[in-house]
């Protein structure tokens, strides 16, 4: 694949309600800084690749409306939507546009304006048809609705099994949440900032559904992210220190917990995340990374719930299975640690859903460029891994970034 560089990154501030702007205007706040910082204008852009979580805002293909606001008029356009993974699936689309040789410089962006929409019904609509069949065959609807109230429904099952397999406790989740809240406080784009948050503060929040507490969950945000990607021959002219795309992969399994139309699911163990390991292996191989535990300097996994910090640290092959809680205890994942993980504060602190997975790449790029500011990792970042999660924890996407392009 042709080398691809991230040369511009822009993000809007993320808050719970931006009632003063419409969707194209909100996204423009992420796009404008990309152009300002690179000195490029839409004339320099060959294509636009976009997406958001479909069906959350009640707008069908909002790019039809917005792309002109973002410099996309008369450009090739591609809308990609895959659920929670959307932001990274979109970025992968943009990477392939450049890697294919079809285009040289591509603007990519992802967004969500949750305050316009009905997130709960949006999420429920994932399974409406499946639940309808359970209803049709006179299943116990109460158990379905009680145990699947929103996205948390699935993740509690995952968290409980991970605890049993790894031997970690809810206390780990409390401390992970506190670390992420503190990291977010250093990130100017983050939504939920709680400087000085402690594990005790998190532990004092209400248990929603065992084993996850309110303090282990993510907010609903309005926000957007944009990036400019370009080919190797152009990158040096645009940015002094671009971040390079070294590897990418996605992998899809079937949904866990409730199968299609109420059928059984072969995705038996929701903590196994075989698709994540599979994608990570492929992406590392492309990047020439043989031992991610040593060669990866920083990770931005997709963590909307606290327990996922441990699961994805392991499934991204950054340690042996079951070791994540111990490494966390040793401070490895801290901003000052050996393998800083989610210095941005993660999706747990900022969740404009469609944008979230692209923000993982954007955050890795900022860290490699040395432009993360207060949440810049202490160690020098040569290689970083970004991750996206979607569907019913059955879509995984992985992107490996580095400070040097691939050779050979």
Identify residues 97-116 at the interface with another protein (CB under 8 A). Answer: 97, 99-102, 113, 115-116
| Subset of residues 163 to 202 that bind another protein, contact rule: CB under 8 A | 164-165
* C-alpha to C-alpha distances, 293 to 245, 283, 322, 379, 403, nearest whole angstrom: 19, 14, 14, 15, 18
**Do 362 and 229 contact (CB within 8 A), yes or no?**
no
**Cα–Cα dist 387/399, whole Å:** 6
| Subset of residues 302 to 341 that bind another protein, contact rule: CB under 8 A | none
The binder of another protein chosen from 251, 352, 366, 369 (CB under 8 A): 251
The binder of another protein chosen from 59, 199, 203, 220 (CB under 8 A): 59
Sign of CA dihedral 142, 146, 148, 151: positive
Task: Kindly state whether residue 72 participates in binding another protein, applying the rule CB under 8 A.
Answer: yes
Task: Kindly state whether residue 57 participates in binding another protein, applying the rule CB under 8 A.
Answer: yes
Secondary structure (3-state) at 279: helix
**Cα–Cα dist 274/266, whole Å:** 12
Q: Given the rule CB under 8 A, which of 20-28, 167-175, 231-239, 365-373 is the region that contacts another protein?
A: 20-28
Nearer to another protein, 284 or 395 (CB): 395
Task: Kindly state whether residue 268 participates in binding another protein, applying the rule CB under 8 A.
Answer: yes
Question: Which residues contact residue 329 at a Cβ distance below 8 angstroms, ignoring those fewer than 6 apart?
Answer: 172
Task: Kindly state whether residue 204 participates in binding another protein, applying the rule CB under 8 A.
Answer: no
* C-alpha to C-alpha distances, 130 to 124, 263, 264, 387, nearest whole angstrom: 10, 9, 11, 28
For the CB of residue 248, give the shortest distance to another protein in the complex, in Å. Answer: 8
For the CB of residue 377, give the shortest distance to another protein in the complex, in Å. Answer: 29
**Degrees (nearest 5) of the Cα angle 196, 217, 280?**
100
| Subset of residues 113 to 152 that bind another protein, contact rule: CB under 8 A | 113, 115-118, 121-140, 143-144, 146-147, 149
Nearer to another protein, 6 or 392 (CB): 392
Task: Kindly state whether residue 404 participates in binding another protein, applying the rule CB under 8 A.
Answer: no
């Amino acid at each position: 694949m042709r080398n691809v560089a991230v040369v511009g990154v822009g993000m809007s501030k993320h808050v719970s309600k931006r009632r003063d702007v419409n969707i194209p205007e909100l996204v423009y706040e992420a796009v404008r800084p990309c152009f300002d910082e690179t000195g490029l204008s839409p004339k320099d852009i060959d294509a636009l690749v976009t997406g958001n979580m479909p069906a959350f805002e009640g707008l069908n293909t909002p790019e039809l409306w917005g792309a002109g606001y973002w410099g996309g008029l008369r450009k090739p356009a591609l809308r990609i939507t895959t659920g929670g993974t959307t932001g990274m699936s979109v970025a992968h689309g943009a990477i392939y546009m450049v890697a294919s040789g079809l285009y040289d410089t591509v603007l990519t962006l992802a967004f969500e304006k949750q305050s316009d929409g009905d997130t709960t019904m949006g999420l429920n609509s994932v399974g409406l048809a499946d639940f309808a069949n359970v209803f049709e065959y006179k299943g116990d609807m109460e158990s379905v609705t009680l145990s699947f109230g929103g996205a948390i429904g699935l993740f509690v099952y995952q968290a409980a099994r991970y605890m049993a397999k790894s031997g970690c406790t809810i206390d780990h989740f409390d401390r992970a949440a506190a670390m992420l809240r503190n990291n977010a406080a250093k990130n100017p784009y983050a939504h939920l900032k709680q400087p000085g948050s402690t594990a005790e503060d998190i532990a004092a929040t209400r248990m929603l559904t065992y084993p996850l507490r309110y303090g282990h969950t993510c907010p609903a945000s309005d926000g957007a992210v944009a990036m400019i990607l370009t080919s190797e021959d152009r990158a040096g002219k645009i940015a002094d220190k671009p971040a390079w795309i070294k590897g990418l992969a996605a992998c899809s399994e079937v949904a866990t917990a409730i199968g299609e139309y109420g059928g059984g699911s072969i995705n038996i163990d929701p903590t196994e995340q075989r698709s994540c390991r599979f994608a990570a292996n492929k992406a590392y191989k492309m990047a020439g990374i043989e031992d991610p535990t040593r060669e990866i300097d920083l990770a931005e996994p997709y963590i909307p719930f606290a327990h996922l910090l441990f699961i994805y640290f392991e499934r991204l092959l950054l340690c042996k299975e079951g070791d994540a809680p111990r490494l966390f205890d040793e401070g490895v994942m801290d901003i000052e640690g050996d393998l800083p993980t989610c210095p941005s504060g993660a999706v747990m602190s900022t969740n404009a859903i469609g944008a979230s997975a692209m923000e993982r790449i954007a955050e890795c790029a900022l860290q490699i460029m040395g432009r993360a500011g207060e949440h810049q990792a202490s160690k020098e970042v040569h290689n970083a891994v970004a991750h996206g999660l979607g569907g019913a924890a059955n879509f995984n996407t992985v992107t490996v970034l580095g400070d040097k392009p691939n050779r050979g």
